[in-house]
A and B are shown apart, each in its own frame.
Chain A
């Protein structure tokens, strides 16, 4: 663990105790005596998923945020990738890695660089949709080749974290500031059995939360065996089916009783309130030491093929950082969005701003004036997601309602 992150954890711990003391669950704590932490964010232009280009750009970016060796050397590294939705859904005929899944070439390149930087063990993690089968099987269904990732560095492993998995018991991770929704979460062992935690995600908008970047990616660390539709009332369902909609989105039910119950069940039962808070709880409970955001190719208008009015886009960039709030704030600006916006304004029309919640919980700053941006200039790289949709609207007359952009046909 880096010294920076250790000190941040210490700070979070202190804030957490204060939050518990004054009983501010469900509200922005506003307890910080000093400004929320910040960290440099690197931006790299990257037009393709060509391995040589990725290795070059990512290598430079890791150097810019302080050096990969400093972060991973001799450590067990856990990388949460983003495989949202079933692997059997595409956007049009496009490969999943070109739209809404973290691209396999980005995973491979990062794993390779981590191996070269001395990582002792690298574990690829995700909780795939409605599955308790090996993660490699989901990757294959998506047409990714896990062997390519596995051979990119020594000691690469995969684990499906949607259930107990290879662990003997779940790990309880406490939310240091007390938690917005839950005081602690029961997670697959992989999220505690690691020295370094990486969120490797896609640069996307999101139907519920406005954006999905390195922070929102961590929503998926919750096992559906406990937090999913099929979770038992008493015990986890170790063969989980369905998603987290009933529980973490709409609050219609509580997790299996092995997990701590919700702090306040009188709070709003809607995704725009709950999901951002769950995300902040999770990234506080399981600090994210490194963020890698794949914006080479992506999706505009939603997080997956099921979202209405989506369009594939090619922003041509990668972003990396060591504070998830700062990293996501820079990503938002790169997407043509303002991280300081509040609920009711784009892209947070129906959602609370998870960056604000995280900032108020002391996880990190969203204030671009306090974030050092290294590498490519934001002005030169920025790619306006909404403008892309407007261009489609102008060209085709309407955005399709069934999720597939006419730009694909």
Chain B
């Protein structure tokens, strides 16, 4: 937690009692010497900066949420180019940092930007759902109001602490393996850094489940279980990686290329796509962008979803508003978890900050049990509903979950 400069007394540390907060970032330690000393006595680690922390990779993040209306109505979300609200999120940054630094714990440094009270819990979930930790940072006004004992501010603080506690209680989820339909293969650096990152950001917005595959750490197992691989870089991968990818296509996979490689094998496919030419190779296909128009990250992300087809969706939502969702499977293969972060809901054709009132989630897989977990309510076992209420419908190779009113975060634990 970034210690608020407004909290000048060592007694302020009592707010951390019985919480999961175990490290303080105190940048101005000279003026907060008593706090530093007391924290250390309490067994709390104190750091003075975020550079070169062993075992930790710190990512500069954005304050998450749906973009707010220019009209000044802070509860109303405005639309991006897709017609849906534009969402700032750090989840993809956490996942990318973890893929590039597999032995690191990922911290996200995102400071409040005109925050709504519920934004703090959203920020915790936005990062933690992907296995990262947010460096808790309070807006100066909120810190001062908490210090002054303001009831609403104290409630905001309690909610924040509870959401951190929730993820600490479920830290066993970190051992789960991410489910994926598509792999995104890039070096995620130099000329490709901005565009490949934005592809991840926008692919997340589609709720397509994907795996990040850094070129440097590619191995044949990188492709296991995938239906498609997207290569958003303009330069081709090394010969060994290229061979593995072509073998993947031979076996029935789909390879989506931003640009053609020299001497790529295959015969022209009988398909029509405004931005991609197709080749057939073995049991699979290769889609090659016809021009740089297809390199627009929004198009690349959405074209990828359509090229793969919604037929293979692992997750499909109705009435969920602006949601990012992450599915992972338990190491023993007997269960899965779907974590959902809600940035805005839809009401009468308008978007508003908050979670959905009656979302439906379809999950591909033969699951028999489902339990809904939120940070503010008791776990709810979803069973066959009476009529059209909340519950779970089992439908062959998928289950349909009818969810109750939710706030910014929920998770569903599924069992086979």
Contact = CB atoms under 8 A, between A and B. Distances in A.
Interface of A: 88-90, 92-94, 130, 132-134, 136-137, 140-141, 143, 166, 238-239, 241-242, 305-306, 308, 401-404, 408-409
Given A238-B274, A242-B83, A90 B310 contact: no
Given A137-B306, A241-B83, A308 B348 contact: yes
A409 B311 CA distance: 30
B319 A143 contact: no
B358 A92 contact: yes
Among A130, A239, A408, max chain B CB count under 10 A is at: A239
B309 A137 contact: yes
Contacts of B274: 132, 238-239
A88 B348 contact: no
Contact of B358 (A88, A93, A130, A137): A93
B404 to A, nearest CB: 10
A353 B77 CA distance: 36
A238 B362 CA distance: 31
A143 to B, nearest CB: 7
Contacts, number: 58
A216 B317 CA distance: 28
B41 interface: no
A408 B388 contact: yes
A399 to B, nearest CB: 13
A310 to B, nearest CB: 11
Interface residues of B, number: 29
B81 interface: yes
A393 to B, nearest CB: 19
16 contacts: A88-B320, A89-B319, A92-B388, A93-B385, A130-B83, A132-B274, A133-B306, A137-B306, A137-B309, A141-B310, A166-B272, A238-B274, A305-B319, A308-B348, A402-B347, A402-B357
Contact of B311 (A94, A140, A403, A404): A140
A88 B82 contact: no
B313 A140 contact: yes
B225 interface: no
Contacts of B349: 306
Nearest to A130: B83
Nearest to B347: A402
Interface in B281-332: 299, 302, 306, 309-311, 313, 316-320
A404 B83 CA distance: 22
A193 B97 CA distance: 52
Counting chain A CB atoms within 10 Å of each CB, the highest count among B299, B313, B318, B349 belongs to: B318
B388 A94 contact: yes
B57 interface: no
Given A130-B83, A140-B311, A306 B348 contact: yes
Contacts of B306: 133-134, 137
Nearest to B391: A93
